[in-house]
């Protein structure tokens, strides 16, 4: 297939396994909605100059940034699944050349176009000079802005989360080597221990440098939770667990618990991990 249709087909969303999991799209909807509402609230505050700190609706919506962490969990699950299938179920292995090529061709074209358009727009508006923005553009194009400058990009500040995603993409094949452990209990103990250690370490140093906070090291526990979910999806899911509305009720209670935990700023984020697992 050639021409515009061929290009569209090459860039369209086709999962590497050819499998569609509707629950994952449902979780994506929750994450997207939360992030959009958070940015809408932030935009209104910037325009009005008023922070409605005692408004309960604002307090809830403002916690929508946690949708980013939920995306990290989803990414961990999606990327771990083919590696886990290969090692736990004997499915065909994941060719690393194709794996990295897919990540590059799916992410880089729209991301580069976005950065270049914003770069030109900021210069035309005289917000910043070419010499000021050029280093930020180069660092952003290579997904290293936060590690180099310890803060978000001047061109697209919200791209810090994509930089973290790319860091995970690069390390995912190595992290997924945990699935070479054949004993389920040992494998999950390793994952849970790594999650807890990384989460506790991040909470122990709340004033950690910006390049840590905006890097994989500051959020790796969420990706590891995705690996744990992939493990359960393949092992327990293969047994055909019966559907039970009590799980729906428990999941709803966990979503409420996540919301309450986010509003209570002092809540250790480590406590949210088991709630996310169940939800």
DSSP string over 61-119 = HGGGGHHHHHHHHHHHHHHHHHHHHHHHS-PPP--HHHHHHHHHHHHHHHHHHHHHHHH
Q: Which residues contact 79 (CB under 8 A, 6 or more apart)?
A: 168, 169, 172, 176, 226
d(CA 11, CA 104): 11
Q: Quick one: which H or E segment has residue 260?
A: helix 245-263
Q: Which residues contact 201 (CB under 8 A, 6 or more apart)?
A: none
Instruction: Specify the pLDDT at position 9.
Output: 55
DSSP string over 36-74 = HHHHHHHHHHHHH----TT-HHHHHHGGGGHHHHHHHHH
pTM: 0.86
Nearest to 46 by CA among 33, 30, 62, 35: 62
Where b means 16+ CB within 10 Å and e means fewer, 89-125 reads eeeeebeeeebeeebeeeeeeebeeebeebbeebeee
Instruction: Specify the pLDDT at position 76.
Output: 96
- Cα dihedral 52, 58, 59, 60 in deg (nearest 10): 180
Nearest to 234 by CA among 50, 83, 28: 83
Tens-digit pLDDT string for the chain (279 aa)? 555 665 555 555 554 455 678 888 989 999 999 999 998 888 888 888 888 877 778 888 888 889 999 999 999 999 999 999 999 988 888 898 888 888 888 888 899 999 999 999 998 887 778 888 999 999 999 988 888 888 888 899 888 899 999 999 999 999 999 999 989 999 999 999 999 999 998 888 766 666 777 889 889 999 999 999 999 999 887 666 677 888 889 989 999 999 888 888 777 888 899 999 988
Phi, psi (deg, nearest 5) at residue 95: -65, 120
Nearest to 51 by CA among 36, 59, 65, 262: 59
d(CA 142, CA 85): 31
């Amino acid at each position: 297939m050639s021409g515009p249709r061929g290009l569209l087909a090459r860039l369209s969303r086709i999962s590497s396994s050819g499998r569609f999991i509707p629950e994952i799209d449902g979780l994506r909807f929750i994450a997207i909605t939360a992030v959009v509402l958070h940015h809408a609230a932030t935009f209104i505050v910037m325009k009005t100059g008023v922070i409605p700190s005692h408004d309960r609706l604002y307090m809830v919506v403002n916690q929508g940034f946690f949708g980013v962490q939920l995306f990290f969990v989803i990414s961990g699950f999606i990327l771990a699944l083919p590696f886990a299938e290969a090692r736990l179920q004997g499915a065909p292995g994941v060719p690393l050349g194709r794996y990295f090529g897919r990540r590059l061709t799916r992410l880089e074209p729209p991301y580069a176009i976005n950065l270049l358009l914003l770069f030109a727009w900021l210069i035309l508006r005289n917000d910043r000079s070419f010499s000021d923005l050029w280093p930020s553009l180069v660092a952003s194009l290579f997904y290293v802005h936060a590690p180099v400058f310890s803060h978000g990009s001047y061109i697209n500040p919200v791209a810090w989360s994509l930089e973290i995603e790319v860091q995970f993409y690069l390390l995912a094949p190595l992290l997924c080597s945990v699935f070479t452990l054949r004993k389920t209990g040992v494998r999950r103990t390793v994952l849970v221990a790594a999650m807890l250690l990384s989460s506790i370490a991040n909470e122990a140093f709340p004033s950690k440098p910006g390049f840590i906070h905006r890097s994989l090291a500051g959020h790796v526990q969420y990706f590891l939770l995705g690996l744990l979910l992939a493990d359960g999806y393949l092992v327990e899911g293969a047994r055909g667990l019966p559907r039970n509305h009590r799980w729906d009720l428990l999941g709803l209670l966990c979503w409420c618990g996540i919301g309450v935990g986010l509003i209570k700023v002092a809540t250790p984020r480590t406590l949210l991990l088991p709630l996310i697992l169940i939800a």
